[in-house]
Amino acid sequence: MRWSLSLCALVAACSPRPSANPPTSPTPVPSTSVSGSSVASSAPAGPDAWLTDPAMIAAGRALFGNNCSPCHKADGSGLIGPNLTDSAWLHGGSPEQIETTILKGWPDKGMVAWGTMLTPHQIRTLVAFVVSIKDTNVPGGKAPQAAP
């Protein structure tokens, strides 16, 4: 019984909360694609330029703070969920692997599947933000949970 209450609390803490300021979409320009999804980006030309686009990262930071921080902390250094600022990634740290984790989640580990709750653009902004904090090794972060 105690375990099921803890799991319920974990799922509730990591469930999406409506944002008072929903992310805005950038002015459409040619789309880029990860894993076959197509999303407009204001990033400079190049297939991976969206990953370093300041507007994408800023939108992802805001969305992360609203939805992901209960499990990963606002700085990504980890609480219930793993530290996203180190080089040790449980399910792979490439943009494609991060996108898959966000889309499908890891329900057996408490990670919510966000694919039906967020737009493709919102998922892209989260990927850009998470990639931007990877390997920053925030002081006081949760210990690595996988081999780098």
Residue 147 maps to a domain: no
Full domain range(s) for residue 38: 2-17+29-133
Residue 144 maps to a domain: no
Q: What is the CATH number of the domain that holds 89?
A: 1.10.760.10
Beta strands in the chain (DSSP E): 31-34, 37-40
Please count the structural domains in the chain. 1
Residue 129 maps to a domain: yes
pLDDT computed for residue 24 by the predictor:
38
Record the tokens describing residue 143, joined without a space.
Answer: 């210990």
Does residue 17 register a pLDDT over 50?
Answer: no
Greater pLDDT, 46 or 80:
80
Residue 22 maps to a domain: no
> CB–CB of 83/143 below 8 Å?
yes
Q: Which residues pair with 37 in a beta bridge?
A: 34
Work out the percent of the chain whose per-residue pLDDT is above 90.
62
* Stretch 119-139: mean pLDDT: 96
**Count of CA atoms in the C-beta half-sphere (13 A) of 114:** 25
> CB–CB of 78/69 below 8 Å?
no
Residue 139 maps to a domain: no
